[in-house]
Amino acid sequence: MMPMDWDTLKAACLACEKCDLCKTRTQVVFGTGSPTAEVLFVGEGPGQKEDEQGLPFVGRSGQLLDVYLETIKLSRQKNIFIANIVKCRPPGNRDPLPEEREACLPWLREQFSLIRPKIIVCLGRIAAQVIIKPDYAIMKEHGTWVEKNGVWMTATLHPAALLRNPKQKPLAFEDYVAIREKIHEVCAHTY
């Protein structure tokens, strides 16, 4: 993909027809937050509410995500960016297919190149397997950190999984506390 500025990238992404999800989507969910954020959160893909509103994490799992963000003084209005592996809703909320991920990944790569975050937080298994490593075991490895080319990466449990298994909420809380510590360590203007 050619180097682009943020607005050009967004306009091109909103018009994307690189996979069949364009046929069933209502809106492309480009992502939301600050394009100069030092912390990038990456989810799996839009659900129904996100598809309707064109914004990531606006349904029930988004409300839970916002609670965790608030506890560590992060906000989608101010100091983070939130994106997804696939920008269009897979019908019936199925997992995105490998070819859909492949078609969509250049958009996330370009967002990453322009934002140049210091920290990437993967929300759930799918994002962790795409961004950190293909065999990422979310229950075993969430909350651990790897550094790749100067970027610190971690994953936490997907908020939708926490809604299904509320007993796991304290595990996620620990991950967010560790994220706050890492921000203090490596970020200059997030807090």
CB of residue 15 to ligand URA, shortest distance in Å: 20
- Applying CB under 6 A, the residues found at the interface with ligand URA are 43-47, 50, 56-57, 61-62, 84, 123, 160
Do 95 and 61 meet the contact criterion of CB atoms below 8 Å apart? Answer: no
For residue 84, the cross-strand partners are 43
CB of residue 188 to ligand URA, shortest distance in Å: 28
Alpha helices, DSSP H, located in the chain: 6-14, 21-24, 48-53, 60-71, 98-115, 125-131, 138-141, 159-164, 169-186
- Nearer of residues 87 and 118 to ligand URA, judged by Cβ: 87
- Nearer of residues 62 and 117 to ligand URA, judged by Cβ: 62
CB of residue 106 to ligand URA, shortest distance in Å: 19
- β-pairing, 119-123 vs 146-148, is unpaired
- Nearer of residues 33 and 47 to ligand URA, judged by Cβ: 47
